[in-house]
Amino acid sequence: MRSHAAPPIACRNLTKRFDRPEPAVDQVTFEVPAGTIVGFAGANGAGKTTTMRMILGLVRPTAGEALVDGRPYQDLDHPRRMVGAVLDGPGAHPGHTGRAHLTILATAAALPHPQRRVGEVLELVNLTEHAGRRVGGYSTGMLQRLALAAALLGDPQILILDEPANGLDPPGILWMRTLLRQLADDGRAVLVSSHLLGELAAVADRILIIDRGRLVADTTLDELVDGGRRTLEDAYFELAGGVS
């Protein structure tokens, strides 16, 4: 049952074990409030992507729960209108055009006026000029923009973005920072992962740090850097350990 007071994203004791004895994600608990950008930091393999996939219903938790607006993702009535996600590229067939890819998603999501909405998000991510080209010919930056366009298709209140800056050039990164800030200022909840600490420091209001599956920090950026007396990098290595 949906609760109107429920936070946009809530994970409680979220745990995932794959085939190895040590858990990939170990009793992770956090919330992402509305109007906030929460940065999710951690080394490769620390558990960021698995956590995000559990929130999105793609990976089944071994224990605990991940809720979106108070419900498991699978129980959302119109998931694309509620949540937008970037996961490891756009997930498009290389033979499809960018426009066709977005139209397929908009159609399956039963979005009203799908063609118009596809045009709007293509414009938003500056891909209109390349919309008729096959995705197989896109550069890495264009693929990332297409993935963002797909995430924004349903004009969702919640965004879950796994390494969205990967492949973007410096103007693209700046553009994305501005976009994320606008989206959060509109009241949206944004969970964004990165292993680039500087990138997270530039956009996030709160920071989660995950290390070997365990959440070792869930605090504001200001608290984490101790009011500017240390860098995010220093705080990260203090909490998550040194170079492995």
The reply on whether position 42 binds other proteins by CB under 8 A is no
Of the pair 60, 229, the CB lying nearest other proteins is at 60
- The two tokens of residue 143 are 């693929």
DSSP class of residue 52 equals H
DSSP line for 98-155: HHHHHHHHHHHTT-SSHHHHHHHHHHHTT-GGGTTSBGGG--HHHHHHHHHHHHHTT-
Residues 53-92 that bind other proteins (CB under 8 A): 53, 56-60, 73-74, 76, 79-80, 83, 85, 87-92
Q: How far is the CB of 80 from other proteins (least distance, A)?
A: 6
SS3 201: helix
Q: In what order do the strands lie in the sheet with 83-86?
A: 83-86, 158-162, 189-194, 37-41, 206-211, 214-220
Q: Least CB distance from residue 111 to other proteins, whole Å? A: 9
Task: Select from 17, 96, 195, 214 the one that contacts other proteins (CB under 8 A).
Answer: 96
- CA end-to-end span of the chain: 43
Calpha distance 98→141 (Å, rounded): 13
Task: Give min distance, CB of 147 to other proteins, in A.
Answer: 9
Q: Report the alpha-carbon distance of residue 26 to residue 40 in Å, rounded.
A: 15
Smallest gap from residue 2 Cβ to other proteins (A): 16
Question: Least CB distance from residue 177 to other proteins, whole Å?
Answer: 24
Say which DSSP state 226 is in. G
Taking a C-beta distance cutoff of 8 angstroms, is the pair 190, 9 a contact? no
Residue 8 found at the interface with other proteins (CB under 8 A): no
Residues within window 100-119 making contact with other proteins, judged by CB under 8 A: 100, 103-105, 107-110
Q: Kindly determine how many residues on this chain lie close enough to bind other proteins according to the rule CB under 8 A.
A: 33
Out of 97, 157, 193, 194, point to the residue binding other proteins (CB under 8 A).
97
Cβ-based nearer residue to other proteins, 32 or 197: 32
Quick check: 157 binds other proteins (CB under 8 A)? no
Chain residues binding other proteins by CB under 8 A are 53, 56-60, 73-74, 76, 79-80, 83, 85, 87-97, 100, 103-105, 107-110, 150
